[in-house]
Amino acid sequence: MTGKTHSLSSCNPVRPYTRSGKLLVGVLRQIYALLALFSSRYSKDIWPHHHEDPLYMSTAERIYLGYKYYYRPMPEAETGTKIADQFRDSPARINLPKGFSPESTISLSAGGDLMPYESIRPSACGHLWDEAGDWFFGSDIVVANLETPIDRTKPVSLVPEVMLNDMYFNGDEAMFDLFSGNGKYRGYDLLSVANNHSLDQGIDGLIRTMEFLNEKSVAYCGATHPAQDKQAATIIERRGIKLAFIGATFSLNAVRIPIGSENLVNLLPLNRESPDIQLLVDQAVAARAEGVDFLVLMLHMGPAYQAYPGKIIRDNMLQICAQTGADLILGGHPHNAQPAEIIDYVHPASHERKQALIIYSQADFIAYDIYKWCHLPLLLRLEITKGLINGQKKTFISGISFRLFYMYAQIQHHKITQLRLIDFNRIDKETIQKMDAASQLEIEELRLFANECLLPGLIGKNLG
């Protein structure tokens, strides 16, 4: 093992692996070091109103995003808030009411962002799922966020090692098969297609993505095929329990939805203060009219590369629960894992007090970004139970289990030769000693990140 690391804020946040990537990142870090030296705006403090929508970001905001990514991690909560304490003090479980009589239980697994990196290729991913596949794909319903179009009529467009400009992705069928368990597991039941890369290949690209998922018998949420009459939640039923999934995104990068196609993808200003969320409310009301028992929102929102969501994001999540009646929110976009919490609110339809589980970010899932915190995806597995109380049918989260996995990259001759998800909680000294020095240091830094930012609270109390 390496020697003791410094504080999280002093760690180098990125790990480039090619010669050109190391050189370019080295230059960028020197530039940001000078910037931090001469400008008080760039410090350890989170910018509270940083909405991170490329269509509206100022030059200063773009520089700040790069500062967080290339130079200084953001392990502290927003100044002047009690967000870290609120996460630490979250209840450990959903309280089942006295007299509740269970009738049926199903399981749901949820993962984060599936992204088209060069390393997601068959030659490097033969053992990708060896430790995670059985646990993750073994649930009755399996979901994640598909953060790339799959348009087979266009060339593949991958995430570059060093990100400097707006990027427009496109995956292919071979990559999708790797996302889905590499042929060893049954794959996904539903994927959200509402994220900032939804329209990277234009409207036709998103439509072809939805058609591709239909061919694969994978449901989707967050977008509407033009052949459908209206936007609606996607409903999946297992053992008499009906779940509705609604997806939405805060941004489409620098792409504007053409006039007349506004209903194609659910776009809302979710990173802004007090956003108009009527679209989510309307879809939630329509889902309840269909007899849905459990409402899941898959929301692409929140600034990236910081350990905690800011106050605006947390307030918006609370507002969304109170207005939609959500049981579960699966957040995405920050790219690194963030804490989770159980909140209490009054249901807008029944006016009863209830609880909801909010996951702010599960991080990159099947991906390999050079930002180190992205290498620690947070996976979730729930038990959802329907039963009777006082003669009424009610459905609750009856079990919560989290797992952190380390996305281990074997790097030889400046190329990723193997990717593998390793159960982070079960990495022992023998396993670490077989790794190169850079991976050993990364694990040490990720343990510091997990212990300081993720595990004090709900995640640590329910770590599988």
DSSP helix/strand/coil, 460: helix
Res. 2 pLDDT band, cuts 50 70 90: very low
State the chain's mean pLDDT as an integer.
95
Residue 43 pLDDT more than 90? Answer: no
Res. 260 pLDDT band, cuts 50 70 90: confident
Pick 84-406's CATH classification: 3.40.50.1780, 3.10.20.590, 3.30.30.10, 3.60.21.10.
Answer: 3.60.21.10
Please compute the mean of the pLDDT values over residues 277-290 and round it to a whole number: 97
Q: pLDDT tens digits for 409-424?
A: 999 999 999 999 999 9
Query: What's the confidence (pLDDT) of residue 226?
Result: 87
Query: What's the confidence (pLDDT) of residue 113?
Result: 98
Nearest to 123 by CA among 405, 431, 440, 415: 415
In the chain, the amino acid numbered 306 is: Q
Tokens of 77: 């909560």
Res. 229 pLDDT band, cuts 50 70 90: low
Note whether 5 and 448 are within 8 A (CB): yes
Bridge partners, residue 241, by sequence: 238
User: Which residues have C-beta within 8 Å of that of residue 399, sequence separation ≥ 6?
Assistant: 382, 383
- The residue ranges of DSSP E strands in 185-279, in sequence order, are 190-192, 219-221, 234-238, 241-249
Res. 5 pLDDT band, cuts 50 70 90: very low
Question: d(Cα 417, Cα 411) in Å, to the nearest integer?
Answer: 6
Please compute the mean of the pLDDT values over residues 150-163 and round it to a whole number: 96
Q: pLDDT tens digits for 173-214?
A: 999 999 999 999 999 999 999 999 999 999 999 999 999 999
- Residue extents of the structural domains in the chain: 84-406
Note whether 30 and 62 are within 8 A (CB): no
DSSP helix/strand/coil, 253: coil
Q: pLDDT tens digits for 21-38?
A: 999 999 999 999 999 999
Residue 433 pLDDT more than 70? Answer: yes
Res. 464 pLDDT band, cuts 50 70 90: confident
Question: d(Cα 389, Cα 354) in Å, to the nearest integer?
Answer: 14
DSSP helix/strand/coil, 315: helix
Residue 3 pLDDT more than 50? Answer: no
Nearest to 271 by CA among 243, 231, 299, 240: 299
Residue 259 pLDDT more than 70? Answer: yes
Least confident of 111-125, 249-263, 335-349: 249-263
Q: What global pTM score does this model have? A: 0.96
pLDDT > 70: what percent of the chain?
Answer: 98
